[in-house]
Amino acid sequence: MNTPSFDFGMIGLGVMGRNLLLNMADHGYAVIGFDKDLAKGTALESAASPGTAVKAVSTLAEMVQQLKTPRKLMMLVPAGPIVDSVISDLLPLLEKGDIVIDGGNSHYKDTLLRINFLEDKNIHFMSMGISGGEHGARTGPSIMPGGDQLAWQQLKPILEAVSAKVNDTPCVAYMGKAAAGHYVKMVHNGIEYAIMQLISEVYDILKRQVGLTNDELHSLFKKWNEGEMQSYLIEITRDIFLKEDELSKNRLVDMILDKAGSKGTGKWTSQDAMDLPVPIPTIDIAVAMRDLSVFKDERVAAAALYKPRIKTVGPHKEKFIHQLHDGLYFATIICYAQGLALLHNASPALQMDIPLPDVVRIWRGGCIIRSSLLELFMTAFKKDKQLANILLNKKLSSRIKKKQAAIRKVVQQGSSARIPVAGLMSALAYFDAYCTERMPVNLVQAQRDCFGAHTYQRVDREGSFHTEWE
Ligand code: 6PG
């Protein structure tokens, strides 16, 4: 009989599960892992740092037996039916009070169903977003737990130990009730999609319109990353430009096919935002552009038919590059604004009580969308915990105003040169619409009432009105 001497169990020893477990072991926790693929268990044990307590087992039962009670277990398995099948395998092995965490990118609606299912089974269930990729999992991710409060209290020390730190503060906090952990992670990924889209558009302009080489792109992104636009995504982009291809003499980035993949979290963000409804057009566009990229054959045919000629930039290259910097800075703020506004509205609608000040605080380190901008957002939410949209913060507005002219120039130049800049355009259009006191939807309402008797409200009196238009 195995004695229960382990602090934490992991089900699923892919790179994320393995690295997070090794991270826990490095912080003094005795950890045990299980994966159906036994080779992954062997890989876990051989990667353990000397002197740490790391064990792999070949059955779930062996793992459960060796965990101290109340047991703390995390699933890091692909989202979807596998999560349900692991839960049903686990249930007969668990006891009252045990904690089960879903640390994968599950859809929050699936999580809500699971919470319901487990409610009367005396198991504490937590939804938990983890961001930072494989490197982050090993060295300190940003962790977004939500749901069961009691489980959170018990897990707090271990999660604080393994998470990323910014000025010694752990990048983990309770994200709210029910499926809040997965909801916040989903929106994190939506913002991630949008910022990646913006960076790729700016790259396209710099490469095809301005004519920069990969080395020049590297130097430029290096410079940008040293200034106000410092971020993880800019940092990795800087290094991507230098990576040599092992199969050809070219840079790897030039040998990668222009068809983007996705696992769905960006799409879920857009779908959910539309259901609420909350506008997040730059995230929507980022999803659409990944989708459009997949229609490669059609794009090639259309290019032959319409022959877009790229107009290169003339003598004002330096000035334009500066405008690109400011335009990207502006549009990146808009991506966060849309994602955070979504959280602000989803929180009461889904009864999750998501603490926005904590969200921006824990996104400052470890996660994919970490950037120096998060410090500014943190200050904004310190001033007003219920801030509906960061664009309404006075301090931020003065920065945004300074970058406005640049984004307009970039969008003009990009579109007149026939470079697709849908993300940058959508960010600017969102901003312009958000700042419009009287939108032209009075006409839309008139049309709706004209053809469908849908009624309208008036500017001068309360109530609902219908007119016989013809
Ligand atoms: C993270 C990442 C991570 C993963 C995404 C990528 O925060 O660490 O977001 O969750 O890389 O799932 O998603 P796509 O495959 O959809 O781009």
Q: Could you report the per-residue pLDDT of 208-238, keeping only the tens digit for each?
A: 999 999 999 999 999 999 999 999 999 999 9
Q: Which of 84-88, 119-123, 182-186 has the lowest mean pLDDT?
A: 119-123
What pLDDT is stored for residue 152 in this prediction?
Answer: 97
- Write down the domain spans for the chain: 8-174, 185-434, 445-470
185 a catalytic residue: yes
What pLDDT is stored for residue 450 in this prediction?
Answer: 98
Distance, in Å, from the CA atom of 432 to the CA atom of 282, rounded to the nearest integer, reads: 13
User: What would the mean pLDDT of 91-97 be, rounded to a whole number?
Assistant: 96
Q: Pick from 13, 263, 267, 40: which is nearest to 134 by CA?
A: 13
Domain 8-174 CATH assignment equals 3.40.50.720: yes
Q: How far is the CA of 186 from the centre of ligand 1 (A)?
A: 9
Distance, in Å, from the CA atom of 142 to the CA atom of 459, rounded to the nearest integer, reads: 47
Ligand 1 pocket, residues with Cβ under 6 angstroms = 105, 131-133, 189, 192, 261-263, 265-266, 367-368
User: What would the mean pLDDT of 286-303 be, rounded to a whole number?
Assistant: 98
Q: Pick from 148, 173, 147: which is nearest to 160 by CA?
A: 173
- Which tokens belong to 327? 């335009």
Please name the fold of domain 445-470: 1.20.5
Q: What is the mean pLDDT of the chain?
A: 97
Q: Which listed residue (40, 72, 177, 192) is catalytic?
A: 192
What pLDDT is stored for residue 309 in this prediction?
Answer: 82
Q: Which listed residue (55, 177, 185, 267) is catalytic?
A: 185
Q: How far is the CA of 459 from the centre of ligand 1 (A)?
A: 45
pLDDT digits 0-9 by tens, 156-183: 999 999 999 999 999 999 999 999 999 9
Distance, in Å, from the CA atom of 115 to the CA atom of 147, rounded to the nearest integer, reads: 9
pLDDT digits 0-9 by tens, 296-334: 999 999 999 998 788 788 778 999 999 999 999 999 999
192 a catalytic residue: yes
pTM of the model: 0.97
Percentage, residues of the chain above pLDDT 70: 100
**CATH assignment of 185-434, among 2.60.40.10, 1.10.1040.10, 1.10.3720.10, 3.40.50.920:** 1.10.1040.10
